[in-house]
Each structure stands twice: as C-alpha cells, then as structure tokens.
C-alpha cells in the first residue's frame, strides 16, 4: 500500500472515529453544561490558559522531529525518550510552584488547587511522547483513532457522573485527568516501541534546534489562541469568560476535530514524500481541497443553527453565546486551513519559515482581539472576523513561495466551498423564519439541518466536482 492509500485510509479512520466519539462526547457535554454554571467553565478556562502554555514545552518539538526524520536509530530514540521525561517532570513541578501565583493573578483562590491537580497530566504525557510519534510515523491512524476514542469517552463519562453528583468544577478537572491517563496507557500498549529511556544530550543538537523552532511556533500559536481568554479574564469576570469559552467550544469544535484529522494525516504523509516535490505539492493541494469542501459547510452550518440549538440543548442562560459563536464560525474555516498549510513547511524541514508564518497570524489576531476586548465576548469575536482573513492571505502567500506551488493553486480549491457554504448560510438565515414550525423546536432544527444539506451538496457538486469526488473516494475505502 503506497503513502497516498495509507493517508486516505488514515483520514477515513480518523473521521469515523471522531464522528463516533462526538456522538458520545457531545451527549455527555451537553448534559454536563446544563448541570454546571458558566463560572465553573470559566475557572477551568482560566486554568487552561496556563496549562496550555506550559504544555507547549512538554515535548520541545521532539515528537514532530521523530515523525519528520527519514531514518531513526534506536539509541537516538531512547535519548529523546529520556529528555521527554525530564522535561515533563520539570514542567509539572514548575506548575505546582506557580499555582498560588496564578490564583492571585486572577483573584480566584480555587485556581491554586485546580492547577496543582491538572499538573499531574504532564507525568502521564511524559511516557507517551515516543509511542505517539512512532504510531504517527507508521501512519497507523486506526490505532491512534481507537486510543483517542477511548480517551475522550472515558473523560466525558467521568465528568458527567461527577457533575451529576454535584461536584461542580472538580468534575471537569477529574475528567481531564482520567482522559490524559487513558491516552498515555493506550499509546504505550499499542506502540511498537519498547525500550527504556536514556538521558544524554550527545548528538541532539540538530534535534533541539528543530524542536526549538517548533516550540516557538506553538508559543506564538498559544498567544493568539489564548489571548482572548487572558484579556477577558483581566477585564471581565469569570462568568463572562465562561460565556466566551462555551461559544468558542462550539465554534472551535470542527477545528479541533475535522482540522486535526487532516492536519495529522497531512504532516505525517507529507513528511514521507518530502523528497519528491511534485508528489508533495499534489498532496498539499488535495489536503486544502478536502478541508475546504468538508469544513465550510460544517462551520457555517453551526452558525445557522446555533440560535435554535442553544435554548433547546443548553437552556436560556446560555443565549449570550449565540452571536459570539456565529461570528467566530465565519472565520474558523480559514484558521483551520492555516494549520496544515503551516505544517507543510515543517514537513519540508523548514521550521523557521513555519515559525514566521505563525508569528504573522498572531500579530494580526492579537491586534484585533485587543481592539475589541472592551466590548466583551462579542467585541473579541469581531476582532477575529476583522483580522483572520488578512492574516490568512499573508501566511498562505508565504507557504506558496516556500513550496513553489503558487498562491493561485492554493486559493482556488477554497473558493468554491466558501461560496457554496456562504450561500447555504444566507439562504438558511432567510428561510428559517418562513418555515411553519415554532422557534425554537426540535422539528425546526432538524428541518434546518436537512435543508442545509440539500442546499450545499448540489452546490458543491456544481462548483467543485473534483473536491466532491475526493471526499467520496475516501468514504469508499
């Protein structure tokens, strides 16, 4: 089986796994949201700001390097393993020491214990970096999917059970810890790698340089991804942060699920064909087309139904998330596409160029968010809408130059899906008030979803037949 077939099968497995997981995950999440208060989610969101920042350093880009290298030596992998454990142990201790300061920064005493408990994740993750890399390197996405399904499901079920018993914010903390433990144990169990770690820095210079650039990319990515929560937390209260956090959860959901599917397969696959540039360029443009055809209708579909979905599923207290989610969904397809485009530079062994790309996007987004934070979550969402399109065009032009594809071949696959998805959203927005169904109602929600599919599918078949065939070819395998 060649790389192309393995990527297609991998994408299919990842997609099916994510879809199956979401049925369980979102069923649990929706019930949990009804049980918990916005302030509970706000506290975890504030803790996640620091947890996610420290997590940027937990592998120092070592996993990416292991996947990207053409050949690996056993002793080299053992050395990377030892370094990974040392780094994660250090990070966990630093978080425990900083927990009281984090709580004081936000004026929330409970954050100290929350951060201390969540720091345990790094001990779990330290033993799974190498197994994870070896699975991705072999393009065994089936095994990776099964582990991630078990991880997400176990964490969600524990969170729901504890929330039902009245444990509030601690249900979210415990669910997160269980999910991290299950993932690490699962990766170790299915990985072909079996060896003890070895602590040495000999021969690690090039790896650390490469990993340094990858870590730099992640730091900058964190800045523009989390700046919204940080600024809102400083200017507004925890409940306001909770509103934005839940709105972003809906808007980012396809980004985290659909985007991660293609990003995972794209980087691993492109790394295997980086020495053959015609094949590399063909795979990259196919990845952009696949993400566009599947991503735009999903994001724009969420924007179309969130006003009806929120009161039905979450309750009236969450209505403020509606306009925020709608605005974020308008530009999330571009953010989703920006991920694999930048990762293509890492796959080529150009981490410095990828770092510059992430920095460009960060400058635009942080400026937009900072300009709107005074107006709360809605102002932050408008900041994203104003900044992301410009940032995407600039960063994509740089990818086109480094890969020598040209900007046109990278942009053209996006346009048909964007137009078909935008047309679907506009028609649904106009037609829903005309349907002879009460608002909100489950019948109206179902009718809107069905109508959206009936509008988008024929439109994309006419606008981008090649993209539609690409999706069908993956589903048939």
Question: Three-class SS string for 172-231?
Answer: HHHHHHHHHHHHHHHHHHHCCCCCCCCCCCCCCHHHHHHHHHHHHHHHHHHHHHHHHHHH
Range of the domain at 155: 1-203
Q: Report how far residue 374's alpha carbon sits from residue 376's, in angstroms, rounded to the nearest whole number.
A: 6
Last residue of a domain, one of 181, 203, 225: 203
Report whether 298 contacts 292 (CB < 8 A).
no
Tell me: cis bond preceding 150? Omega within 30 of 0 counts: no
Q: In Å, what is the CA distance from 449 to each residue of 43, 264, 432?
A: 33, 28, 11
What is the Rg, in whole angstroms, of the alpha carbon atoms belonging to the chain?
22
Q: Please give the structure tokens belonging to residue 409.
A: 């071949």
pLDDT tens for each residue of the chain, 477 residues long = 455 555 555 555 555 556 666 666 667 777 777 787 777 877 888 888 778 778 777 766 666 676 666 676 777 777 777 888 888 888 889 888 988 988 888 887 888 899 899 888 888 887 777 787 777 776 666 777 778 778 878 888 888 888 888 888 888 888 889 988 888 888 888 777 776 777 666 666 666 777 777 777 777 877 777 788 878 888 887 778 888 888 888 888 776 665 555 565 565 666 666 677 887 888 888 888 888 998 899 999 999 999 999 999 888 888 999 999 999 999 999 998 988 888 888 777 788 888 888 889 889 999 998 999 889 899 999 999 999 999 999 999 999 998 888 888 899 999 999 999 999 999 999 998 888 888 889 999 999 999 999 999 999 999 888 888 877 776 665
Task: Look up residue 316 and give its DSSP letter.
Answer: G
User: Do residues 146 and 212 both lie within one domain?
Assistant: no
Q: Report how far residue 263's alpha carbon sits from residue 472's, in angstroms, rounded to the nearest whole number.
A: 19
Judged by phi (left if over 0) then psi (alpha if -120 to 50, else beta), residue 284 lies in alpha
Name the nearest CA neighbour of 141 among 1, 284, 41, 295.
Answer: 1
User: Do residues 376 and 419 both lie within one domain?
Assistant: yes
Q: Report how far residue 336's alpha carbon sits from residue 186's, in angstroms, rounded to the nearest whole number.
A: 27
User: Do residues 186 and 249 both lie within one domain?
Assistant: no
User: Do residues 229 and 159 both lie within one domain?
Assistant: no
Q: Which residues contact 230 (CB under 8 A, 6 or more apart)?
A: 49
Last residue of a domain, one of 203, 237, 263: 203
User: Do residues 395 and 306 both lie within one domain?
Assistant: yes
User: Do residues 85 and 187 both lie within one domain?
Assistant: yes
User: Do residues 455 and 313 both lie within one domain?
Assistant: yes
User: Do residues 144 and 260 both lie within one domain?
Assistant: no
User: What is the value of pTM for the model shown?
Assistant: 0.69
User: Do residues 139 and 223 both lie within one domain?
Assistant: no
Q: Report how far residue 347's alpha carbon sits from residue 147's, in angstroms, rounded to the nearest whole number.
A: 24
Angle at 467 between CA 466 and CA 469, to 5 degrees: 65
User: Do residues 261 and 139 both lie within one domain?
Assistant: no
Last residue of a domain, one of 203, 238, 273: 203
User: Do residues 279 and 389 both lie within one domain?
Assistant: yes
Domain count, the chain: 2
User: Do residues 100 and 224 both lie within one domain?
Assistant: no
Output the 3-class SS for 440-466: CCHHHHHHHHHHHHHHHHHHHHHHCHH
Tell me: cis bond preceding 440? Omega within 30 of 0 counts: yes
């Amino acid at each position: 089986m060649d790389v192309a077939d393995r990527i297609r099968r991998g994408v299919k497995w990842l997609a099916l796994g994510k879809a199956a997981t979401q049925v369980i995950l979102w069923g649990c999440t929706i019930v949990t949201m009804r049980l918990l208060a916005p302030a509970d989610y706000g506290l975890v969101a504030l803790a996640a700001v620091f947890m996610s920042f420290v997590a940027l350093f937990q592998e120092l880009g070592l996993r990416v390097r292991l996947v990207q290298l053409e050949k690996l030596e056993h002793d080299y992998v053992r050395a990377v393993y030892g370094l990974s454990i040392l780094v994660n142990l250090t990070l966990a201790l630093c978080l425990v020491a900083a927990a009281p300061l984090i709580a004081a920064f936000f004026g929330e005493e409970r954050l100290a214990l929350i951060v201390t408990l969540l720091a345990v994740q790094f001990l779990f993750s330290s033993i799974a970096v190498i197994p994870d890399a070896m699975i991705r390197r072999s393009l065994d996405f089936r095994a990776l999917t099964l582990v991630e399904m078990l991880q997400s499901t176990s964490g969600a079920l524990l969170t729901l059970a504890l929330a039902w018993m009245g444990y509030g914010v601690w249900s979210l903390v415990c669910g997160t810890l269980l999910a991290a433990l299950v993932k690490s144990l699962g990766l170790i169990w299915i990985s072909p790698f079996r060896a003890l770690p070895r602590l040495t820095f000999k021969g690690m210079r090039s790896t650390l340089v490469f990993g340094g650039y990858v870590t730099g990319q992640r730091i900058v990515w964190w800045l523009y991804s989390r700046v919204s929560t940080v600024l809102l937390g400083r200017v507004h209260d925890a409940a306001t942060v909770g509103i934005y956090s839940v709105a972003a959860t809906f808007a980012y959901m396809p980004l985290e699920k659909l985007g991660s599917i293609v990003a995972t397969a794209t980087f691993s696959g492109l790394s295997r064909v980086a020495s053959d540039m015609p094949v590399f360029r063909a795979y990259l443009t196919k990845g952009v087309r696949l993400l566009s055809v599947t991503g735009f209708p999903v994001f724009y579909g969420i924007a179309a139904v969130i006003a009806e979905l929120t009161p039905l599923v979450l309750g009236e207290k969450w209505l403020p998330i509606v306009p925020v989610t709608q605005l974020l969904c308008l530009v999330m397809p571009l953010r989703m596409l920006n991920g694999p485009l930048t990762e293509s530079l890492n796959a080529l062994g150009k981490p410095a160029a990828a770092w510059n790309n992430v920095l460009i996007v960060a400058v635009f987004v942080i400026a937009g968010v900072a300009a709107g934070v005074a107006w709360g979550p809605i102002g932050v969402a408008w900041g994203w809408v104003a900044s992301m399109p410009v940032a995407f065009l600039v960063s994509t032009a740089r990818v086109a130059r480094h890969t020598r594809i040209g900007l046109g071949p990278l942009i053209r696959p996006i346009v048909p899906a964007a137009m078909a998805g935008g047309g679907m959203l506009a028609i649904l927005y106009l037609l829903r008030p005309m349907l002879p169904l009460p608002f909100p109602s489950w019948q109206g929600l179902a009718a809107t979803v069905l109508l959206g599919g009936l509008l988008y599918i024929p439109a994309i078949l006419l606008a981008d037949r090649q993209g539609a065939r690409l999706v069908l070819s993956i589903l048939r395998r």
